Structure 1
Amino acid sequence: MINGGFGETHISNLLAALNIPPISYNSLKAREREVGQKLLEMATESCKKHLTEEAELSNGEISASFDGAWQKRGTGRAYNSLSGHASLIGEKTGKCIGFGVKSSHCKVCSTASSSDQMPKEHTCSKNWTGTSKGMEPALACDMLQDVINQGHRVSTLIMDNDSTTISRVKAIVDPSISKKTDSNHIRKSFTSALINLSNEHRQLKNQKVRTHIERCFMFSLHQNQENPEQLGSALEAIVPHLYGEHQSCGNWCRSAEKGYKPKNLPFGKPLSDLNLRMSLEDLISKFVLKSDILCKLGSSQANENFNHMVSSKAPKRMCYSGSESLVSRVSATVCQKNEGHNYLLKLNKNCCLSPGTFTRKHTIKLANKLKRKRLLQRSSKYKRRRLELRSNRSSRNAVKTVLEGDTYSTNIELQDHTDIEEISVLPEKHLTAQQPFMFFDLETTGLGRTSDIIQIAAVCSDKTFNTYVFPTKPISPGASSATGLSFKDGKLLLQEKSIEAVKQKDGLLQFLAFVKKFTYPCIVGHNIKNFDVPVLINSLEKYGLCETLNRSISGFVDTLVIARSLYKKDEVNGSFSQQSLIKCLLGKEYAAHNALEDVVALRELFEHFSLNENQLNDFVFQLSYFACKSSLHALVEKKVISQNVCNKLAACSLGMSQLRKIHNRDDMNGIASILKECKIAKKCSIANKIIKFLDDLSSEA
């Protein structure tokens, strides 16, 4: 129960669910007290053993890390936990050499007091009458005094700067003890200061910029330990380095390399904002004044790990502050930290119980698993992968935040303006091999995108659609020659013979009715991305039918794009036309430029490609592609982006309005994050050009 981190209620619930009679509270508590006393003895003995080992390894000059934690979660404003614990861990052995628990509450005493009765005989857990904040310094003094009582001395204490522990230790226990500051807390403190500055300087909103400055800061600290003067000089060189002044930089600076660019800074150039420079210099100067402290760094990560282990055995959502159970659970953590999971075997033996076959097997399994995990964590490959995954998570989160708009913030509903419009990027591609594919083709009055439709044909499953449409514009000689269609005296002729035809709107409505017979079909055509779909959109927009089509289909696929990705030009006799592909790949000929004949032949060609689901989804595009592409024309015209990048943006449903909204939500990281996530552009220069263009638009407005 103690090892698993649960209590009497959990045990009873588990047994009841298994239809096993639960154990009475009194019996369970009596056994817990017996085990708890053995755990305390084992933990104390283990700490003494490893204290002696630590003293031998450090020649009597023991360096140990110290940290404490409360049983109740802190809010950052109120510190009112009823109990707290702390650990002292040797730097050489990494083992716990001291621990303690302070509690200002006893459940038995409190219950008796509320009834105006004398408490029954019990082991009172209350051993502290001060505030929660005072527990940590008191525990440190107790543990260090206990070390002295055992004939040893801690000469250096590694800890954070969040309490007056070291001052009280010097005043009460050992005036000559020295302190090393925890490097992780220094890093967090510096990062928090940069985030606070980002409210005034937008360049610091860029996470890459903050990370770059943080790396420079931490590198200066780690490379200049035990040398406060050199550390001060290194810290003072950070801001000039960020602004392209490298005269004071050390060997770590790569500015002398050919083609050097600070890739983590905006536009790959040094910072230039003078107000930001002054703020950074003020921030760095505060740390320069503390060079004598910062040149002595250590790590209390082992204590953080200990606190995490305690929280698994005494979860903060449960209240163990009022009973001796908390001491038992902290003692169990000490035993596990020092001896591993095998402490359970020793505990069973001390309690006059069999070590247990299954207990032994389980502890061996856990020990082997932990050993493998630690070996893996030490490898450079694992560390690099961990950093890569963290970077990817951060990038994905940044992208999602920009796309979602305002979702969660303190008192966000009380604000006058809330941006809740969600930007849809990379529409969900859900094509499958069983998807209904509709093969479609148009014949038109000419080659212009504003030409009139004169024939619409489609084939899907075993159903066929074919209709002729009266044009409102003359049919060009070239189109008439290719299709055999002409328009004379108000009649549509095929090979000079009159045929039945309908008006433009009626033809479009009939086609939409045919589309709706199927469940979100994917429309497949040859060269439809450049011609057929733009012509269809132009015709649909005249009658307000565009959105009807968009709601009825899952997307479009262009077989011309597929063919160009699968074959080289010389493999298809130098032409990617539908007629040439069918002749070359299928060995067939058909009556081209008749829409119905075209779609029947197209289905055979598409089936010949034999694409799987992933391949199919790579070629899908949406109706929004064309509107987005049109809106990006200004960017292409002014050579901000290439036509290829424009096509990629449009394929992801990113038009000018979407780019502007993304930029407004995050003017430093938004555009770059989206381009990277959508795999549109790897180079920062493209994102930087778009950002500059949008900034210029905003300033003109």
Structure 2
Amino acid sequence: MDPEVAESLSQDTDAVIDIGVSFDGTWQKRGFTSHYGVGVCIDILTGLVIDYEILSSYCHACACKNSVLKAGEISEEEFDSWKEGHKADCAKNFAGSSKAMEQEAAKRMWGRSVSRHQLRYTEMLSDGDSSAFRQVVELKPYPGQEVTKLECINHAHKRMGTALRKISVDNKLGGKGSGKLTAKKCKSLQNFYRGAILNNQGNIEGMKSEIWAGLLHCMSTDEVPLHNRCNPQWCFFRRAEDNGETPDSHSLHSKNHLSREVGQTLVPIYHRTSSDSLLQKMQHGGTQNNNECLNSVIWARCPKTVFVGRNRVEAAVSMAISSFNEGASAILNLMANLWLESTTITLNTIREADMLRVTKANAILSPQTKGKRKHESNERKVKRHQQEQEEGAKYGAGMEM
């Protein structure tokens, strides 16, 4: 931070800072039947967790007492009296469904951001899978200040691939032969889309032009070249023209050629995924990788396959966030608060764990290793998609009927 800004903030203790946060929700159980949900806000600039909210729709003590009431072992008056005294210790703090937990967590965190942290979350980077952003807008947490929606690049990239594979199956555009929309070509077009966004951060027109360039490039032939929007860095045709050379035949370079008929079928998808409103939200080029990483750290400490109570979830979330923000050394603060003395073995183990973590994060893989991993991943996805198409529907609700 600029020294002058830091000094002015230190002098003005009431200053409220506007920041952008990456928000995501996660659940303790798969399938949207979980009793526990967690919402987390991570600062986009620093990558640190700013705030979190744990929601619980279940209290074991209440469930047991309800069973006793239904069995007729206690009266309604006794139950009401117990309920009144139990309010302070009740683990249940949410009465809605599991799907509504994410938006409720967002409302609570945006509503207390100023009073608790002296911060305004004016930019919200989220995946768009829930109505959390709409709920925050309706809440109007900051009078006179709007909250802006940012889109996750990874989720937009995933939705593009889903749309391409769906239209390939629904319109029977796949199969063998030149110009077909195979699983491999869907993957290539999907990666073209992601690359166009990342290569033109802050430039909506540049994004849109390169997104369409990916489709037109694949539709080009020797007779009808469509490379006006292509970038010489990845287009053989434009690179040859810039060097004053005669371009090679498309058959030597265009491994993902699409027929004109197939390409025209994809135009509505490209119109939708290259709209100004969508690209405006992706100018930042950011992702929710930090949130996804934190989610894995949380549930590694509290497996989704085991039934737990709210206290266990809270402990897992607190420990995960401490480790995420500060590394293994966060345990030293915990030990100090518990008046536990840190031995030399403890200190050395923690330092080694932190050094290993940083080393892995900063490791630079060779281009060959990266390329090999990417190629193997793509091959697995293509093979799995081909198997599903060849086998047909093998599993689904009510298939025996």
Counterpart selection for 1:163 from 130, 134, 144 = 130
Given the alignment of the two structures, is residue 201 of structure 1 paired with residue 194 of structure 2, yes or no?
no
Equivalent residue for 1:73?
30
Alpha-carbon displacement from aligned partner over 1:554-583 (angstroms, at most 9, x marks no partner) = xxxxxxxxxxxxxxxxxxxxxxxxxxxxxx
For 2:381 and 2:133, the matched residues in 1 are separated by 40
CA deviations 1:634-666 (Å, max 9, x no partner) are: xxxxxxxxxxxxxxxxxxxxxxxxxxxxxxxxx
Structure 1 residues 401 and 162, CA gap change in structure 2 (3 angstroms):
closer
User: In the alignment, which residue of structure 2 is the partner of 1:219?
Assistant: 195
**Who is 2:75 aligned against?**
none
Partners in 2 of 1:214 and 1:153 — Cα distance? 35
The one-letter amino acid paired with 1:259 is D
Unaligned 5+ runs, structure 1: 1-51, 54-58, 416-701
Displacement after TM superposition at 1:396 (Å):
6.7
Please report how far the alpha carbon of residue 371 of structure 1 lies from its aligned counterpart in structure 2 after TM superposition.
Answer: 1.5
Give the counterpart letter for 1:249 in structure 2.
C
Superposed CA deviations along residues 141-187 of structure 1, whole A, max 9, x for unmatched, are: 22223221132212211111111111111221245111210000001
- Structure 1 match to 2:279: 291
SS in 1 for 2:150: strand
> Equivalent of 1:259, from 229, 233, 248?
248
2:327 equivalent in structure 1: 340
Write the distance in 1 (CA, Å) between the matches of 2:310 and 2:250. Answer: 61
AA of the residue aligned to 2:133: I
1-structure distance, mates of 2:385, 2:118 = 57
Larger Rg belongs to: 1
User: Could you say which residue in structure 1 is the equivalent of 2:186?
Assistant: 210
Assess, with a 3 A threshold, how the Cα gap between structure 1 residues 401 and 158 changes in structure 2: closer, same or farther: closer
Contact 1:190 1:214 in 2 (8 A): yes
Partner residue in 1 for 2:376:
392
TM-score, length basis structure 1 = 0.45
Partner residue of 2:294 out of 306, 319, 325: 306
Shift of 1:197: 2.3
Report the secondary structure of 2:38's partner residue: strand
| Correspondence for 2:337 | 350
The match for 1:653 is none
Deviation at 1:397, TM superposition (A): 7.9
Letter matched to residue 68 of structure 2: S
Structure 2 Cα separation of the partners of residues 215 and 135 of structure 1: 33
| Structure 2 unaligned residues grouped into runs of 5+ | 1-8, 11-15, 70-78, 175-179, 221-225, 241-246
Structure 2 residue 251 is matched with structure 1 residue 281: no
Q: Which residue of 1 aligns with 2:107?
A: 141
SS at match of 2:130: coil
Whether the 8 Å CA contact 2:47–2:290 is kept in 1: the answer is yes
CA contact (8 A) 2:157 2:191 kept: no
Counterpart AA for 1:170: V
- 2:162 corresponding residue in structure 1: 192
Aligned-partner residue type, residue 391 of structure 1: H
Name the structure 2 match of 1:249.
230
Aligned CA distance change for structure 1 residues 115 and 264 (closer, same or farther; 3 Å): farther
Question: Aligned equivalents of 2:130 and 2:384: distance in 1?
Answer: 38
Are the equivalent residues in 2 in contact too, given 1:227–1:295 (CA < 8 A)? yes
1:395 is displaced (CA, Å) by 3.6
Percent of aligned pairs with the same amino acid: 22
Does the Cα contact within 8 Å between 2:299 and 2:316 map onto a contact in 1? Answer: no
Q: Is the 8 A contact 2:28 2:304 kept in 1?
A: yes
Report the CA distance between 1:264 and its aligned residue. 7.4
SS at match of 1:66: strand
8 Å Cα contact 2:183/2:382 also seen in 1: no
Please list the CA deviations of residues 279-333 of structure 1 after superposition, one character each: whole Å capped at 9, or x if unmatched.
211110111333333445421110100100011011101122x332211211111
Q: 1:411 to 1:73 in 2, by over 3 A?
A: closer
User: For the Cα contact (< 8 Å) 1:229–1:291, is it kept in 2?
Assistant: no
Q: Which of residues 179, 183, 201 is equivalent to 2:149?
A: 179
Distance 1:141 1:397 in 2: 38
Residues 447-488 of structure 1, C-alpha deviations (whole Å, 9 max, x = no match): xxxxxxxxxxxxxxxxxxxxxxxxxxxxxxxxxxxxxxxxxx
Count residues with an aligned counterpart: 346
Letter in 2 for 1:282: P
Judging changes above 3 Å, is the alpha-carbon distance between structure 1 residues 401 and 237 closer, same or farther for their aligned structure 2 residues?
Answer: closer
Q: Which has the higher contact order (CA 8 A, sep 6+)?
A: 2
Matched residue SS, 2:361:
helix
- The aligned residue for residue 152 of structure 1 is 119
- SS in structure 2 of the partner of residue 189 of structure 1: helix
The answer to whether the Cα contact below 8 Å between 1:254 and 1:260 also exists between their aligned partners in 2 is: no
Deviation readout 1:243-275 (Å, 9 max, x if unpaired): 11112334443323243757675xx4732251x
Q: Secondary structure at the match of 2:268?
A: helix
CA–CA distance in structure 2, aligned partners of residues 162 and 402 of structure 1: 28
| C-alpha separation in 2, matches of 1:389 and 1:63 | 33
